[in-house]
Amino acid sequence: MTDSTRLNPADEIALGRDFMTLSQHVLSNFGTFSAEAYDLSALMSRIGLAGKTIARHLSLAGLLENVLGVTGETNVQGEAVKNMDHYANRVFLRAFEQSGLVCRLASEEMEKPYYIPENCPIGRYTLLYDPIDGSSNIDVNLAIGSIFSIRQQEGDDENGEAEDLLQSGRKQIGAGYILYGTSTMLVYSLGKGVHAFTLDPSIGEFILFQENIHIPDSGSTYSVNEGNFWQWEESMREYIRYIHRQKGFSARYSGALVADIHRILFQGGVFLYPGTIGHEDGKLRLLYESAPLAFLIEQAGGRASTGTQDILDVVPTKLHSRTPLIIGSKENVKVVESFLNK
């Protein structure tokens, strides 16, 4: 008689893999079945749902209307809004509207936070996000991403200005990104390591790819838009000249922060978006780009700096504040800082 509780070892391994889904992983990562663990598991699962919906839409780019191209509007950053920016922003709002999990969402594409029309008790979660990171890649079918950050409401936010969000990145309780590349991957941290999942579209689930990822302490990739060379401070130019003289360094810059950081997370190196003339704080926004990625990379054993200060210590003055960003392997970031602080 066969044992009906067992499969052959290979099938058993495949089944075990298929059942380590994102929501299951969050629960097991907490090691308890507390209300908080359930809330965060449900929250991560809604983020995953938003990611799956965006990935599906992207996979039909050029076939569906309004996937490519611009809406004709300009966002609060003064940038042309792409159809996908607008769509993905709406996807996150819809994914959370009826969820009962967050009370506010704030994004790159909205001047002010969006309040879920129900009461907003202190302690409820706020989701901050960049719906599409690397928008210039959309129309040419290259990698793009979404970035997210989870915070808890601290003040009563009576006037609806969300001033309690103007605190350092150390207040984040979780962060991560979704990468829409050759496969769709979700990488998250809730302060207990960094874990990566790959979307299996045939079953519609993010399945664990690798847990407790550690970024190499140093790497030989540098990722920066060298087209800005003459817009940088001389100290930054000196660092790049130094890199050019090192053997074995390769430049890799995709136009999407998420894709560049993903490479660096697994293979080491450094990503830089320094200030430029007239834009001393650079381009990247603190609350939903630099701070969540800094949280993730620090959890993986790397570092993130403005050049003079840890990104996670920077307190924004407004929702859409920007900071210079130097992020990646700790040894590489240290070398950049030594040039900038000469």
Stretch touching ligand AHG by CB under 6 A, among 53-61, 131-139, 148-156, 206-214: 131-139
Rule CB under 6 A: choose which of 257, 296, 300, 327 binds ligand AHG: 257
Binding of ligand AHG by 256 (CB under 6 A):
yes
d(CA 184, CA 312): 27
Question: Which tokens sit at 80?
Answer: 């042309």
In the bound complex, what is the minimum distance in angstroms from residue 316's beta carbon to ligand AHG?
17
d(CA 95, CA 87): 12
283 interface partner picked from ligand AHG, Mn ion, none, CB below 5 to 8 A per type:
ligand AHG
Question: What separation in angstroms does the CA of 154 have from each of 26, 92, 158, 167, 309?
Answer: 24, 22, 12, 10, 24
Stretch touching Mn ion by CB under 5 A, among 12-20, 56-64, 101-109, 263-271: 101-109
In the bound complex, what is the minimum distance in angstroms from residue 287's beta carbon to ligand AHG?
13
d(CA 104, CA 124): 9
Rule CB under 5 A: choose which of 29, 125, 130, 300 binds Mn ion: 130
d(CA 258, CA 148): 11
Per DSSP bridges, beta strands 250-251 and 221-223 are parallel
Q: What is the DSSP letter of 113?
A: P
- 199 and 55 Cβ atoms separated by less than 8 Å: yes
Binding of Mn ion by 260 (CB under 5 A):
no
Residues 6+ apart with CB under 8 A from 217: 268, 301, 329, 330, 331
91 interface partner picked from Mn ion, ligand AHG, none, CB below 5 to 8 A per type:
none
Site map (CB under 6 A) of ligand AHG, residues 139-178, x = contact: ----------------------------------------
Binding of Mn ion by 133 (CB under 5 A):
yes
Stretch touching ligand AHG by CB under 6 A, among 19-27, 53-61, 126-134, 298-306: 126-134
Longest dimension (CA), the chain: 78
d(CA 333, CA 185): 25
Smaller CB distance to ligand AHG: residue 284 or 300? Answer: 284
Stretch touching ligand AHG by CB under 6 A, among 98-106, 114-122, 127-135, 295-303: 127-135
Write out the residues near ligand AHG by the rule CB under 6 A: 108, 130, 133-135, 225, 255-257, 283
